[in-house]
Amino acid sequence: LFICIDHVGLAVPDLDEAIKFHAEVFGWRELHREINEEQGVAEAMLGTGEQGEENAKIQLLAPLRDDSAIGKFLGKSGPGIQQLAYRVRDIDEASRVLRERGMRLLFPEPKRGTAGSRINFVHPKDARGVLLELVEPATDAAH
Ligand code: CMX
C-alpha cells in the first residue's frame, strides 16, 4: 500500500527561524518552499542531501492563520511533530483500501499538497493517535 515514509511534518511558529535552526543545528538543507493558501500554511521541505528517492525529509509547517490546522495544533500542543506522511503510488487506490479497512479520511477527494502532489489524511483517532498523511507525488508532466 505504501512506498516509503515521504516526510515527517513539524509544526513551527516561524518558518524562517525554524529553517535556520534545523540547518545550523542538524545540517538539514532547504529543498523547496511554498505557500499553500488552502491548507493555511507556509511550508518548507528540508532534506539531508540532493532531492531524490533515498533522501530523508522533514517538512516545516507554519500557520498563515490561527484557525488553520497548524494554527490550532500550535495553540493546543505547541511546536512539534504534527504529522507522519506515507508516500503512495496511487492515492485513489490507497484511499479506497483504507476506507474499506474502516479508516476515515479527512477529505472526500485528495487535495493539492507540496509541489503539486495529491494528499489526504487518515483521521488521527483512527490511526491510533497519529495524523497520517498520504502523499502521491506529482508526475513530471503535472509540474
Ligand atoms: N496528531 C495527532 N492527534 C491529533 C492531531 C495531530 N496532528 N490533531 C488533532 N489530533 C487529535 C486531538 O488531540 C483530538 O483528540 P482528543 O479529542 O482526544 O483531544 C482529536 O484529534 C480531534 O482534534 P480537534 O482538536 O478536535 O480537531 P482539530 O480541529 O484540531 O482538527 C484535524 C484536527 C486532524 C482534523 C486537522 O488538523 C486537519 O484537518 N488536518 C489535516 C490538514 C492539515 O493538517 N493541514 C496542514 C498540513 C498541510 C500539508 O501537510 O501540506
Protein residue whose Cα sits closest to atom 48 of ligand 1 = 39
Q: If you search the block for the grid coordinates 507554519, which residue do you land on?
A: 62
What CATH fold (topology level) applies to the domain 4-142?
A: 2,3-Dihydroxybiphenyl 1,2-Dioxygenase; domain 1 (3.10.180)
Q: ipTM > 0.90?
A: yes
Residues with beta carbon inside 6 Å of ligand 1? 9, 36, 39, 41, 61, 69-70, 72-73, 76, 82-83, 106, 113-114, 119, 121, 124-125, 129-131, 133
Starting at the edge strand that comes first in sequence, how are the strands of the sheet with 41-47 ordered? 29-36, 41-47, 57-63, 4-11, 80-87, 132-136, 118-122, 111-112
Local confidence pLDDT in tens for the 143 residues of the chain? 899 999 999 999 999 999 999 999 999 999 999 999 999 999 999 998 665 555 799 999 999 999 999 999 999 999 999 999 999 999 999 999 999 999 999 999 999 999 999 999 999 999 999 999 999 999 875 44
Protein residue whose Cα sits closest to atom 38 of ligand 1 = 69
